[in-house]
Amino acid sequence: LTSALWKSLEIAAISTLISTVLGSLIAVALSRYSFKGSAGINLFLVLPLTTPEIVLGSSLATLFLGQNFIDFGMTTIIIAHIMFQVSFVALTVRARIRGFDWTLEQAAQDLGASPFRTFMKVTFPLILPGILAAALLAFALSIDDFIITFFNSGSVQTFPLQIYGASRVRIPPQINVLASMILFLSVAILMTGTISGMRKSAEKQKSARKFKVLQRK
């Protein structure tokens, strides 16, 4: 069970990293530029969200069966996870970018910043919360996925597949321990993010009050 859990974490980490980069770039491109085919790309982003997982999993399995140079295993699982993770990341980041003020980039470039420096110093920090939220969502979906992984796993046993195989005989008590660890870790991360956000909000309010006091003086 521990080996299967580490395997799921490894797959989730790799697929989340790749899908976060690709999805974020797609979201920025669709939000910033208007080009032919953008409507079709939007449709392709929504399709994995609306398509039943059993259809997506079996379709990917059929695709991999036609490629003789790819064996079912870690590679096919990662590719399959990236296929549906990109949609979640792109749509989540795009929702964050929707209210972005693009004149900030123009102001930075007017002050002499290069396009790369403008992106790293202005655009990226402002959309980073949306990227982190999308990455956490993609990571959770990857660990939790069973159906798509089942069709494309081969001999690799991820945590959901291991639990499914064990539950057909009896459910081992170790599953409850590992599930509780995942739950407590998720709650700890959530609480840390919430407390950090509350502290930043309090600091902003404190700075705003100080600024108003200085203005009155």
pLDDT, tens digit (0-9, with 9 covering 90-100), for 68-118 = 767 888 888 999 999 889 999 998 888 888 777 778 888 888 888 888 888
pLDDT, tens digit (0-9, with 9 covering 90-100), for 3-62 = 888 898 899 999 999 999 999 998 888 888 777 777 788 888 888 888 888 888 888 888
pLDDT at 193 over 80: no
pLDDT, tens digit (0-9, with 9 covering 90-100), for 104-128 = 888 888 888 888 888 888 888 888 8
pLDDT number for residue 117: 87
Question: Is residue 89 within a helix (H) or strand (E), and if so which, with residue range?
Answer: helix 74-97
Mutual angle of helices 74-97 and 124-144, in 10-degree steps = 140
What is the secondary structure of 107-176 as a DSSP string?
HHHHTT--HHHHIIIIIHHHHHHHHHHHHHHHHHHHHH--HHHHHH-TT---HHHHHHHHHTT---HHHH
Rg, C-alpha atoms of the chain: 22
Longest dimension (CA), the chain: 76
Output the six-digit token pair for 161: 């597949």
pTM: predicted TM-score of the whole model, two decimal places:
0.78
